[in-house]
Chains A and B, each alone.
Chain A
Amino acid sequence: MIYFDNAATSFPKAPGVGDAMADFLANHAANPGRAGHRMAVAAERMLDDTRLQLAKLFDAPDHNRVVFALNCTDALNMAIKGVLGAPVTDTATRDHVITTNLEHNSVSRPLQALADAQYVDLTRVDCDTEGIVDPAAIEAAITPATRMIVMTHASNVLGTVQDAAAVGAIARKHNVLFCLDAAQTAGALPVSIEKMHIDLLAFPGHKSLLGPTGTGGLYVGDRCPQPAQPDNPNTNVPTLRPWREGGTGGDSSTPTQPPLYPYFLEGGTPNTVGIAGLARALDYLADADPASAINHERAMIQLILDHLADNRRVTIYGPTGPDAATHRVGALSINIDGLEPSDAASILDDSFDIATRPGLHCAPYTHRRLNTYPSGTLRISPGPFTTNDDIDALLNALDQLTA
């Protein structure tokens, strides 16, 4: 199988990830923080070390604020519902939230549900025809009631990279929280919580970080509302709400979640086995040249773009041209004239052993913008381990499909 679905989850994973998970499961799989015995302490230490690795990678000031999540969706729910999930009694005090039409359903759906419940007012800022959102358009949408900007760092349909640093600066200037969905960029592009003024960073462990599924995380910056202090309930101060509540190890005496990071948001036994795999993947990334993966993926994308440029039966969405790949991560959407995306993907799988992803990619607003709703597009997403032979096989298949 030639794998071009890395935007969904990377494959293969970083070398050694499976071994690290098997080793943890076989030899160290105690429940972290729930007991004082050596194995439990070691498991807790493994989690803590991984938090440190992630804090270093994302330029985060406090590793205890790296909260493990099941995936990026889980992290985004924690962030969005944590800040905005309080019922609103007085419509005059309702928060305003800005998002874009490039968002994945993991952002769109929780925000829309909050808007439908009249907890928030929602503005969805339009991208341009290339799939780029102008930071000035976001700034223009800010009102005195704006509480948060939630946006993706790169479109999962088009791969187009957004100017997160500019949006972060705007958010900071207007005293608005900035929540960045790094689903397509964490591990691929530099993400600096400090420099990009990110207040909430959601990331998956299983995409460009090359770890296993079931891993991800949320960084919660100190500008976010804080957990309520059980001994000092001040009802006038907005507080962060835990998305999951339950056992945290450590302090079990408090009637609600202990107001201490990361435990406040980490109810339930974490996915230690997956995190052990993620830790190995982070080691691998730390040893590699940080730019090598993205440069490789962009080179692969550029080969595809160049080859398809003259093919009249192929529509390419997003930036095209000689340096177009520099505006993208490793994802590209196309359509073939006369062939439904689902048919094209089935043929590539059936006749050529090539895995791609047809459809809406959980981003219906993007496809409405591209006029590709409801059939969607055929998404091709190479990864760090994609070879030139893989690209040749793909281009040969596309040539045959469009002959």
Chain B
Amino acid sequence: MPHDLDRYHRQMLLPGFGEQGQQKLADATAFVVGCGALGTVIANMLARAGVGHLIIADRDFIELTNLQRQVLFDETDVRDGIPKAEAAKRKLATINSQVRVDAIVDDINHKNIEQLIRAGDTDIPDILIDGVDNFETRFLVNDVAVKHAIPYIYGGAVGTVGMSYAILPHAIPGATNTPPWQTAGAATPCLRCIFEQAPPPGMNPTCDTAGVLGPVVSIIANYQVNEALKVLTGNYDAVCPTMLSIDTWQNTYKQFKVRRAYDVAECPCCKQRSFEHLDGKWSSATTTLCGRNAVQLSQQPADPANRRKLDFDEIANRLKAHGQVTANKFMLRADIKDNGTDYELTLFTDGRAIVKGTKEPNTAKNIYAKYIGA
């Protein structure tokens, strides 16, 4: 179907946009990684703005506690128990039928991400937008962004705090096909220039343990879309070069200057072109336990010689709202009811865990990301 541009009139009036900018959006593919609170807002706004092709990936199913902030879903979706990516696709079809949506219901990991970004017979997408709930996947997406020179809009929110930052990757030093944003002088440091490693599991609060304020997610997601629209219309010089950090409850709004991080860091990713997350060096492994309705998740310790032990007291504190938690110096055990199903989560000091109540690795990873934080 040819794109009817009339509906985008108010957007095309904007400086730097016009019909040409709108056409660029229509021709663009955006990969939305994760379709929860951030992802639904992102997909919603991208579809309304007329981005021609969306690929939406999420392994999770919709539950009642999502509706507070995940704007594409409603009570019918909860009742039907459909996957988030699939529900988003259906809803977006009613919002803008001109947009093609490919839904991927799968865990995104180092083994499949390079196939998944090509979903729907596209070449590589024009942009990657972050709607995930864990740092393991973020660092993986960052590797893909740098390796294939795809802009990546990082975003994250938990509690009343949110962050966002647009990564416009630097090309391989000396490469002939310099990406347009670099020619425009707008390339930015990658995630690993700024944070060398993903934080170890269990160190950070999650939406499921610390709660989350709907508006802060919505603000961050819209900020991500804001930056994405600049990128997709070719307005690279307008892309914000700093990292935004906000707390909408404490009323703090900060912009961190990160540009120098590229110059000073010997970034393994964008300078040495070593894509360790994509190579699986830091990926967690899952094993379905012999004879048991249980899955073991093992983390690759960042530094085996000097590994950090989890703070069971702090984690027990976070989890106690969800069910009984017991801990000694060797392990922490928590009973968790998630979306109506009972799980028993056993956590060990190096971050590995055994999730009882499922044989599905994806379900176990989901429980871990939600309640421990990966």
Which A residues form the contact surface with B (CB < 8 A)? 340, 342-343, 346-347, 350-351, 359-360, 364, 373-376, 400-401
List of B residues within 8 angstroms of A346 by Cβ: 296, 331, 346, 348, 352, 354
**Contacts A350-B349, A350-B352, A351-B349 hold; do A343 and B331 have CB atoms under 8 A apart?**
yes
Is B1 interfacial (CB-CB < 8 Å)? no
Within 8 A of A (CB), among B253-292: 289-292
Query: Which 4 residue pairs spanning A and B have beta carbons closest together?
Result: A374-B291, A359-B290, A350-B348, A347-B330
Bound Cα distance A340, B349 (Å) = 17
Q: Is B350 at the interface (CB under 8 A from chain A)?
A: yes
Q: Given the complex of chains A and B, what is the CA–CA distance between A190 and B294 in angstroms?
A: 40
How far is B329's CA from A342's CA once the two chains are assembled, in angstroms?
Answer: 17
Count chain B CB atoms within 10 A of each CB in A342, A374, A400, A401 and give the residue with the most: A342
For the complex, give the distance between the alpha carbons of A340 and B330 in Å.
13
With both beta carbons as reference points, the residue of chain B lying nearest to A357 in the complex is identified as B290
B291 touches A343 (CB 8 A): no
Checking A343, A360, A364 against B354 with a beta-carbon cut-off of 8 angstroms, the contacting residue is A343
Known contacts A359-B289, A360-B290: A347-B354 contact under CB 8 Å: no
Q: Specify which chain B residues have a CB less than 8 angstroms from the CB of A400 in the assembled complex.
A: 330
Closest Cβ neighbor of A351 among chain B residues: B330
Residues of B within 8 A of A347 (CB): 330-331, 348
Write out the residue numbers on chain B whose beta carbons fall within 8 Å of the beta carbon of A376.
Answer: 290-291
Docked-complex contact B289 and A350, CB < 8 angstroms: no
- What separation, in Å, do the CA atoms of A180 and B29 have in the docked complex? 62
Contacts of B352 in A (CB 8 A): 346, 350
Q: Give 26 pairs: A residue, B residue, CB < 8 Å, sorted on A.
A: A340-B346, A342-B289, A342-B292, A342-B296, A342-B354, A346-B296, A346-B331, A346-B346, A346-B352, A346-B354, A347-B348, A350-B348, A350-B349, A350-B350, A350-B352, A351-B329, A351-B330, A351-B349, A359-B289, A359-B290, A360-B290, A360-B291, A373-B291, A375-B292, A376-B290, A401-B330
Which of B289, B330, B346, B352 is packed against the most chain A CB atoms within 10 Å?
Answer: B330
**Which residues of B come within 8 Å of A, CB atoms?**
289-292, 294, 296, 329-331, 346, 348-350, 352, 354
Specify which of B294, B330, B349 is in contact with A342 (CB 8 Å cutoff).
B294
CB distance from B24 to the nearest CB of A (A): 52
- Neighbouring B residues of A360 by C-beta, 8 Å: 290-291
Name the distance in Å between B48's Cβ and chain A's nearest Cβ. 48
Across the two chains, which residue of chain B brings its CB closest to A397?
A: B330
With A and B bound together, what is the CA distance between A376 and B294 in angstroms?
Answer: 14
Query: A364–B291 Cα gap in the complex (Å)?
Result: 9
Complex alpha-carbon distance, A267 and B352, angstroms:
43
Closest Cβ of chain B to A348, distance in Å, is 9
A340: chain B residues within 8 A (beta carbon):
346, 354
B296 partner residues in chain A, CB cutoff 8 A: 342, 346
Q: Is the CB of B291 within 8 A of A375?
A: yes
A364 and B290 CA atoms in complex are apart in Å by 10
CB of B292 within 8 A of CB of A374, answer: yes
A contact residues around B354 at 8 Å (CB)? 340, 342-343, 346
Q: How near does chain B come to A338, taking the closest CB pair, in angstroms?
A: 11
Other than the known A343-B331, A346-B346, A376-B291, what 6 A-B pairs have Cβ atoms closer than 8 Å? A343-B346, A346-B296, A346-B348, A346-B352, A347-B348, A359-B289
Closest residue on chain B to residue A401 by CB atoms: B330
CA–CA, A375 and B293, complex, Å: 10
CB distance from A398 to the nearest CB of B (A): 12
Contacts of B330 in A (CB 8 A): 347, 350-351, 400-401
Q: How far is the CB of A363 from chain B (nearest CB, A)?
A: 11
Nearest-Cβ distance from residue B261 to partner chain A, whole angstroms: 34
Query: Nearest-CB distance from A81 to chain B (Å)?
Result: 25
Q: Is the CB of B331 within 8 A of A359?
A: no
- Please indicate the chain A residues that have their CB under 8 angstroms from the CB of B289 in the complex: 342, 359
- Which residues of A lie under 8 Å from residue B329 when comparing CB positions? 351
Complex interface: chain B residues within 8 A of A374 (CB): 291-292
Cα–Cα, bound, A342→B348 (Å): 12
Nearest neighbor of B344 in chain A, beta-carbon distance = A340
- Smallest CB separation, B293 vs chain A (Å): 9
Shortest distance between the CB of B334 and any CB in chain A (Å): 13
**C-alpha gap A350/B350 in the complex (Å):** 6
Q: In the complex, what distance in Å separates the CA atom of A41 from the CA atom of B86?
A: 62
Question: In whole angstroms, what is the CA distance A105 to B283 when docked?
Answer: 31
Contacts of B350 in A (CB 8 A): 350
| A379, chain B: closest CB distance, angstroms | 12
Residues on B with C-beta less than 8 A from A373 are: 291
CB distance from B207 to the nearest CB of A (A): 27
- Chain A residues near B349 (CB, 8 Å)? 350-351
- Residue with the greatest number of chain A CB neighbours at <10 A, chosen from B289, B348, B349: B289
Report the minimal beta-carbon distance from B83 to chain A, rounded to whole angstroms.
30
Q: Knowing A342-B296, A347-B331, A401-B330, say if A359 contacts B348 (CB, 8 Å).
A: no
* A374 (CB) vs chain B CBs: closest residue: B291
The complex places the Cα of A374 from the Cα of B292 at a distance, in Å, of 7
Interface centre among A347, A400, A401 (most CB of B within 10 A): A347
Closest residue on chain B to residue A352 by CB atoms: B330
**Complex-state Cα separation, A359 to B291, whole angstroms:** 7
Give the residue among A343, A359, A401 with the most B Cβ atoms within 10 A: A343
Complex: chain A residue closest to B333, CB-CB: A343
Closest residue of A by beta carbon distance from B307: A350
Expressed in whole angstroms, the minimum distance between the Cβ of A313 and any Cβ of chain B is 14
The answer for the CA separation of A349 and B283 in the assembled complex, in Å, is: 19
